[in-house]
Amino acid sequence: MKRFTRLAALPAAAAIALLPTTASADVGYPDPLPLTGQQIIHDPTVHQLSNGQYVAYSTGGILGARLSTDLHDWTDAGNAFTTPPSWWYDYSSTADPWAPDLSYRDGRYWLYYAVSSWGTNHSAIGVATSPTGLPGTWTDHGKAFSSEKTDTWNAIDPAVIRAGGRLWMAFGSYWTGIRMVELDPGTGKAVPGAEVHHLATRPDAPYAVEGAAIVHHGRYYYLFASYDACCAGVNSTYKIRVGRSTSVTGPYTDSTGKPMLEGGGDLFLASHGRYIGPGGESAFRTHGTTWLAYHYYDADDNGTPKLGLNQLGWRSDWPVLK
């Protein structure tokens, strides 16, 4: 997503058609954790670092960074990178990265992110590593995966998960929805010639589903995805849906058995009260608790995008928000 413009993921005409004229808000969802400090954010990925601090990276700037000691109060910590890697300009004239994903394995922090431009799937997902996970300490390793205009998918919005002793990356926005490829755990890049699995889409163009996050719990993998239109402030219609599968590569179905490849997905979080258009989600685990991080548009603050944090619980093998 380009800064605060997730609709950059689809052709301009389709983006305009999706913009609603009024906002709608439902009730019945729990409010996010009360926060203080620097709350403005988009597409957050959150992780607790080895020094005990929490870091959140996001779209905006050269992957904007926020730090917290308690998940409640957040401070601005600059950007992940001090200068853009030169290859970013092949995919974005402004070298503007989107939608990062942060994880830890093999003694290093791994940061995946997307570089693209408005209305094109000439896109790439990059990968960087750091010994600490802190902003300014990242070494970029170039492209992990890319897409071209001849492809039927869009290489943005990465989400990495380990499953069955292998490393996988979900990705995708519009252009037939959510996809997945296997990564080489050594390089962190897509396995050469890897199959591109299809996880979720919608029946009609522009296939408005993106921003995958996958959580493993019990027998199942749970696929969370953002549906509809982001980035229009209080007029955003973003919402989060979820399905599950016993295999990380799918097929994913909702609680009625409808496949996510046929437009299925249980509605998990939508607008309510001041919290408009939640989406751009990711999941992280700390102190035995799994959290969902996302952005929403604050109707009480002129539609400013802010960080939402809720605990994930489970009921009858389906996730619930606390």
Give the active site residues.
43, 210
Cβ distance 8 to 63 under 8 Å? no
Q: Is 226 helix (H, G, I), strand (E, B) or coil?
A: strand
Contact of 244 with 260, CB cutoff 8 Å = no
What residue type is assigned to position 75 of the chain? T
End-to-end CA distance of the chain: 27
CA-CA distance, 236 to 217, in Å (whole number)?
30
The whole-angstrom separation of Cα 53 and Cα 17 is 42
- Three-state secondary-structure class, residue 233: helix
Q: Up-side HSE of residue 235: CA atoms within 13 Å toward CB?
A: 10
The string of DSSP letters for 90-150 reads GT-TT--EEEEEEEEETTEEEEEEEE--TT---EEEEEEEESS--TT--EEEEEEEEE-TT
How big is the chain, counted in residues? 322
Number of continuous H segments (helices) and E segments (strands) in the chain: 1, 21
- Distance CA(246)–CA(251), nearest Å, equals 8
The tokens for 121 are: 């799937």
Structure tokens, 182: 């296997």
Sheet-wide strand order for 123-130? 97-105, 108-115, 123-130, 139-147
What would the two tokens of residue 1 be? 């997503």
Quote the tokens at residue 50.
């080895």
